[in-house]
Structure 1
Amino acid sequence: REPLCDVCVQRGSAFSELGLSIHFYSQYLTQIDHDEICEIVRSVPPEKIPSYRYEGLPVGEHAYAGCLRYYSTGTLEDQYLSNDVLKRYFEAALGTTKVMLRLTSHHDFEAACFHHGIYIPQGVVGEVCRSKGIRVSTWNTAYRERCFVFSHEDTYHHTLLDEPVSAWKDMTFTDRHDQEIRQYIESRWLGSQDWIYFHDTPDDSLDTLVQETGVDIAKPIIGMLTNVMWDAQLHYRQNAFPGMLDWILETVEYFRQQPNLQLLIRVHPAELRGIQASRQFVVDEIRKAYSELPANVFVIPPGSNINTYAAMLRCNCVLIYGTKTGVELTSMGIPVIVAGEAWIRNKGLTIDVTSREEYQQVLKRLPLAESRLTEQQVREARKYAYHFFLRRMIPINSIVPTPEEKIPFKVSIESLEKLLPGIDEGLDLVCDGIMNGTPYIYRSEEK
């Protein structure tokens, strides 16, 4: 059996060459700690783990999200050994919490920067740091090639939702910037400027859409875009539903009773083509509830080459839960209704609902009388899209893609001089943000 620690220890050893202090869990956990953790894990029932708090911190939520990610499902129901695996994640979460509480008590940290900001251990690390008043920065790969998203204080899953409109509302946005973001959004149909994309040969033919799905373009079509079931399953206060599946099934049921409307569901291609393929599929879940799909509900499966954007352009409006595609759709003038944690929420550009009752009232308005946004609304949507894709996604020159490798990028520098201030503007911005708390906004509009 391959030792479990080898990979992390090997990567961490790179820091020892720089003469930096490396802290190990074993330095901060005693046998008494281990015994206490084991007793908590033994005594807390699996169904209570997601809501469990330790020292006031939501460690159970992060353990549960990490376990869902491990199984690549949106629920642990009927998953082999799921209770045992969840308890192992819970144990790791508790251990990380104790380590971080002790580490931050022994050392005076001013700032912390780490990947993602959710799951185990990063989510718990962030919770402890924030509780201690330590400035937190989190990062993740962005869609655009050689770009990264950094956020202050919390995971970008939350900060991009709560980012104040003032961060982009008053930015310079000329016809040149409008053309620039339009060209980038068009490039996303093929993924030509991205290192995260899901189709090599997307098909935008209307004939293909009709032949594969059976949808009738002469009748009103309402689009629906799903997410991968397991991704970033953290509680967010503005979600109208407990989870995406509840939203999907309630929507299908509504349309079943509305034969004059058509629902066109585009299942996220990442169910099959993501870095971590899903093990719970939207189509299967719908079939569990409906042995036969309602006659006015049509599905584009995850493996289909039908172009998502082209399909949604045929719709009166689009229903979304957490997909970032709402940013592009509003930029194309398509009205979007948001029921979950999509990043386009709270920008004044979409119809945002926060409860089941509110969602039902919005559905009763379909098809929308105005099937396209106004010219001014589209201009504002493109301004936000510019901010989202070209300002929040920070280019780092020393990072190069490695598409054939398991890790899709690497650091490529000839000497440490390439890392000096003034050489790489994006890297300078990131360093300034970590050290001084300045905004993680790359001002492309000034270039």
Structure 2
Amino acid sequence: MNKSIIKELLGKLPPFTAELYWLLQQSNKPPVGGYSADRLIEALPRWVVQTKAAQRPATGKRVLVFSMLRYWVEHTAMTSLALAALGHQVTLAYLPYAHWKKPVSRFDLRRQDLYLKAALKPLTEIVKTISLLEAPVGDSLPEEIESQLDAAAYRDTQYSLLHEEIDVESDLYAMRRERDLRHALVILTFLRENKFDAIALPNGSILEFGMTYKVARYLDIPVATYEFGEQSERIWMAQNADVMRQDTSGMWNARKDTPLNDEEWIRVKDFFATRQGGGLWENFSRRWQNIESQGGTKVRADLGLDDRPMVLLPANVLGDSLTLGRHTFSDSMTDWQARTIEFFAKRPDVQFVIRVHPGEALGWGLSVYDILKEKFPTLPENIHLLPADAKVNTYDLVNAADVGLVFTTTVGMEMAMIGLPVIVTGQTHYRGKGFTIEPSSWDQYFEILEKVISAPKDYAPSREDVESAWTYAYRFFFEYPQPYPWHVQHFWEDEEIWPMEKVMSKEGLAKFEKTFGYLAGELIDWE
């Protein structure tokens, strides 16, 4: 038998087989296929000392934090300590997986579990830790959860491949469905046997994170899902909702009638001027364009655009969890793009430009460009498909456009901010806010598209709508994200800036305490 078969058999044997191997062979090293926790092992004792020094009296509130994957385990360990310092009774439940799309033998997984238990041992002085790898597995799922398994596995596979069209007969889909099923059975049993007042977990949309969210909602346990965008010291958060849906309705309903003051107007205008110019602004860690602005006139000349009306479609990143499952009447984002290309292929009187998101140049999967080029090897002269690495500033295209078509990209909001008519086809955070056009069927979409390209100015947002778009943009970028000290993508750099003792100081609590309260179940008050 080969080595992998032996490992698989050993992994199914009763406890202590992997344990004995781990102790004898490499008790201080992560196993093959696992991940190193060296930085966490070094930092945890220091974090625990600082947490103990700042610890408040017990609140009696029981909070569960769920985690997996190296970067989230590091991040949630610190978050768990912060919640414990504020007096909450915190449990960190985790899975030892190093990957979400690679199979791993049960034997190696058990060894990684032992390694991680040892790494997290200092945490147990303040936070209860529990591995869910060997936790009791339930016998069955309620229909409400079981009926979501196929869709969950489908989305996980889309996310893993960064592709909307996937093969449900593939090994990856089967693996993701098996893991989602097992986790649903485990977390359902765990949450029924252990009572929590609140749950905090990353993302809430995909993988075991998504399944934890679904089971928590089924059991009616308050749950906060959170993710990180492009701002340092800020966190996206949703309560009893999937944060990747970016439901801003609560914030907007409370804040839409409050006009921006002069200082806020200056701030939001400076921000968008920097964003559109391709620069960095304040606490934003990403440049939005791969080239500085050259102006709408120059981009028209460079692309050979003439005086015919120009319709711009800025695409989303393919497979991003902000876009998966956000279609309204199409089968997917690329399905909508393909049918729109077919529409404009019959309209030589209009120029159509698709700008593939510059961020796709950094991805690991197929690009929107690859998919559309395969469907349309040749395009008529009025249709321009620009790849992710095209040296074109998207905002120059915006300034040259007459009409905008978007799925969920925030560029659609920005086009409305300069007075362009924008047709939105996906479930984006600014949908329904009053400054975009939102068809709900294919027939309605093509009917509206015909009307808008025939007379763009007749469908442009009013002056009041444009002002509303600017107000919403300010609220979305500067009020919707909550203050938070540690960004998951640059966690260790942030931990140096905001060590636990500083976060728990008068300065740190003044800035972050409310957000920790939201993670522990306190309701966000947008007023």
TM band (smaller chain): 0.7 to 0.9
Match of 2:8 in 1: none
The residue type paired with residue 162 of structure 2 is: S
CA distance in 2, matches of 1:440, 1:149: 15
Match of 1:315 in 2: 401
Question: Is 1:252 matched up with 2:341?
Answer: yes
SS in 2 for 1:260: coil
- Displacement of 1:316 after TM fit? 1.0
Match of 2:114 in 1: none
- Displacement of 1:377 after TM fit? 1.3
- Displacement of 1:300 after TM fit? 2.3
Match of 1:379 in 2: 467
CA distance in 1, matches of 2:436, 2:150: 33
SS in 2 for 1:176: helix
Residue segments in structure 1 that go unaligned for 5+ positions in a row = 38-51
SS in 2 for 1:121: helix
How does the TM-score come out when normalised to structure 2? 0.71
Match of 1:439 in 2: 524
CA distance in 1, matches of 2:120, 2:148: 32
CA RMSD of aligned residues (A): 3.0
Question: Is 1:26 matched up with 2:133?
Answer: yes
Residue segments in structure 2 that go unaligned for 5+ positions in a row = 1-30, 38-68, 78-118
CA distance in 2, matches of 1:186, 1:6: 42
Q: Over residues 268-310 of structure 1, what are the superposed CA-to-partner deviations in whole Å (9 max), with x where a residue is unaligned?
A: 111113xxx0422222222223231122111222102311112
Q: Over residues 361-414 of structure 1, what are the superposed CA-to-partner deviations in whole Å (9 max), with x where a residue is unaligned?
A: 111113223374332111111110011000012233x337977x9x88546334
- The 5 A counterparts of 1:189-200 are 189=276, 190-193=278-281, 194-200=284-290
Match of 1:2 in 2: 32
Match of 2:310 in 1: 221
- The 5 A counterparts of 1:338-349 are 338-349=424-435
The residue type paired with residue 20 of structure 1 is: V
CA distance in 2, matches of 1:373, 1:256: 27
SS in 2 for 1:109: coil
**Bigger radius of gyration among the two:** 2
Match of 1:412 in 2: 497
- Displacement of 1:240 after TM fit? 2.1
Change (3 A) 1:329 1:428: farther
More displaced, 225-234 or 12-21?
A: 12-21
Judging by fraction of residues, say which structure has more helix.
Answer: 2
- Displacement of 1:187 after TM fit? 1.8
Question: Is 1:134 matched up with 2:224?
Answer: no
CA distance in 2, matches of 1:338, 1:22: 45
The residue type paired with residue 428 of structure 2 is: A
Runs of 4+ off more than 6 Å: 400-403
Question: Is 1:72 matched up with 2:162?
Answer: yes
How does the TM-score come out when normalised to structure 1? 0.83
Contact map agreement 1:230 1:278 (CA 8 A) in 2:
no
CA distance in 2, matches of 1:439, 1:179: 27
Alignment length (residue pairs): 414
Match of 1:243 in 2: 332
Identity across the alignment (%): 19
Question: Is 1:59 matched up with 2:149?
Answer: yes
Q: Over residues 188-233 of structure 1, what are the superposed CA-to-partner deviations in whole Å (9 max), with x where a residue is unaligned?
A: 12241222334353343446523543222x1110111111221226
SS in 1 for 2:170: helix
2:479 to 391, 395, 400: 391
The residue type paired with residue 439 of structure 1 is: I
Contact map agreement 1:161 1:346 (CA 8 A) in 2:
no
Match of 2:49 in 1: none
CA distance in 2, matches of 1:72, 1:430: 32
Change (3 A) 1:344 1:438: same
Match of 2:42 in 1: none
Match of 1:44 in 2: none
Contact map agreement 1:141 1:148 (CA 8 A) in 2:
yes
